[in-house]
Amino acid sequence: MTPSERDFFNYRYTRGIVREVSTEIVGALAENNTAAEISLERARHEHERYIQVLGDLGIETVVLPADPNLPDGVFVEDTAVILPGLAVITNPGASTRQGEVDSVEAALSTFIKTRRLGGGGTLDGGDVLRIGNKYFIGISQRTNIEGAEELRGILMERGLTAEFIEFTGALHLKTLVTPLSPDTIIGAGDVLNHPAITKLSGLKIIVVPKSEAPAANVLVINGRVLVPGGFPETLGRISAAGFEVVEINNFEFMKADGGLTCRSVLW
Ligand code: CIR
């Protein structure tokens, strides 16, 4: 493994892509139709702070312009999956989101080789969970077997493995479970009992209380854990486990089913 691969698999990054919040974010997809309640001003404010924290953590960030035709465009995570030396551009499962990929690909291609999923399957980056250098692909409302198989093929070409985790009850796999380090995850719900997870030896699991389910989506960057604001019990559990936490508000994006990981692509 090269030093830069080792950094990547330890969640150490130097670059990122984000997108400004669309003026039409109230039209974003949301299971419970709560996107209409989003305050554009507050969402912009929350996202500015997010971008600022990425910078404070040493990430050089490309900020793509907002697009009124892409209400969900701020959730860039779903459009690309970064592997060492390659950015896989996805085919998002929601047809209204497929227009997001071109601009992300153009931005990524100035830094890293890109390759599109072209096999006709669908896949959202939010369904791709990486624990250290092991990949888990959620089979969801957005990611189908064909999309997952194509990504697994690309991973296998590079000597990496992927297991599929079929689940219901949440938008993306990473809505339910995210990594804190190569040997620690945080999560909520049945997915933690999936054999692909339980068979990982030495894996530590922090369980999110039911009342704080959205806090299962945290974002680890360069030794810090970004935790969504408003979930004190989870915040306490993460710090008690020895992680340095940074609280970042995500209240507006939660109304469109978005977590902290959704708002950036990092490598
Ligand atoms: C959607 O439904 O596609 C967006 N409103 C939310 C996407 C959240 N992305 C993510 O979890 N990676």
SS3 of 120, please?
coil
Report the distance separating Cα 110 and Cα 143, nearest Å.
27
Ligand 1 neighbour 78 (Cβ under 6 A): yes
Tell me if the pTM is above 0.75: yes
Q: Give pLDDT, residue 182.
A: 97
Tell me whether residue 7 is in a domain: no
Report the distance separating Cα 79 and Cα 59, nearest Å.
19
Tell me whether residue 103 is in a domain: yes
What CATH number does residue 99 fall under?
3.75.10.10
Ligand 1 neighbour 170 (Cβ under 6 A): no
Number of domains forming the structure of the chain: 1
Region of 202 on the Ramachandran plot (φ > 0 left; ψ -120 to 50 alpha; else beta): left
Ligand 1 neighbour 256 (Cβ under 6 A): yes
Is residue 79 a contact partner of residue 87, using CB atoms and an 8 Å limit? no
Tell me whether residue 5 is in a domain: no
Q: Give pLDDT, residue 3.
A: 93
Q: What is the mean pLDDT of each run of 10 residues along the chain (267 residues)?
A: 95 98 98 95 98 98 98 98 98 98 98 97 98 98 98 98 97 98 96 97 97 98 98 98 98 98 98
Tell me whether residue 161 is in a domain: yes
31, 130, 178, 262, best to mutate for ligand 1 pocket (most atoms within 8 Å of CB): 262
Which pair of structure tokens corresponds to residue 1?
Answer: 């493994």
Nearest CA to ligand 1 atom 1: 29
Ligand 1 neighbour 126 (Cβ under 6 A): yes
Ligand 1 neighbour 29 (Cβ under 6 A): yes
φ/ψ of 39, rounded to 5, equals -90, 120
Domain that holds residue 180: 15-266
Report the distance separating Cα 51 and Cα 18, nearest Å.
8
Tell me whether residue 1 is in a domain: no
Which pair of structure tokens corresponds to residue 9?
Answer: 């698999």
* Burial class for 153, CB neighbours closer than 10 Å (0-12, 13-18, 19+): exposed
26, 76, 257, best to mutate for ligand 1 pocket (most atoms within 8 Å of CB): 257
Nearest CA to ligand 1 atom 3: 29
Tell me whether residue 253 is in a domain: yes
Tell me whether residue 8 is in a domain: no
Tell me whether residue 4 is in a domain: no
Instruction: For the chain, give the longest Cα–Cα distance.
Output: 47
Catalytic residues: 172, 262
The ligand 1 atom at the shortest distance from the C-alpha of residue 77 is 12
Residue 97 C-alpha to ligand 1 middle, in angstroms?
10
Q: Give pLDDT, residue 133.
A: 97
Q: How many angstroms separate the Cα of 198 from the Cα of each of 37, 94, 192, 205?
A: 38, 30, 7, 10
| Closest among 194, 227, 192, 220 to 206, alpha carbons compared | 192
Ligand 1 neighbour 133 (Cβ under 6 A): no
Report the distance separating Cα 36 and Cα 234, nearest Å.
28
Report the distance separating Cα 138 and Cα 266, nearest Å.
20
Residue 1 C-alpha to ligand 1 middle, in angstroms?
32
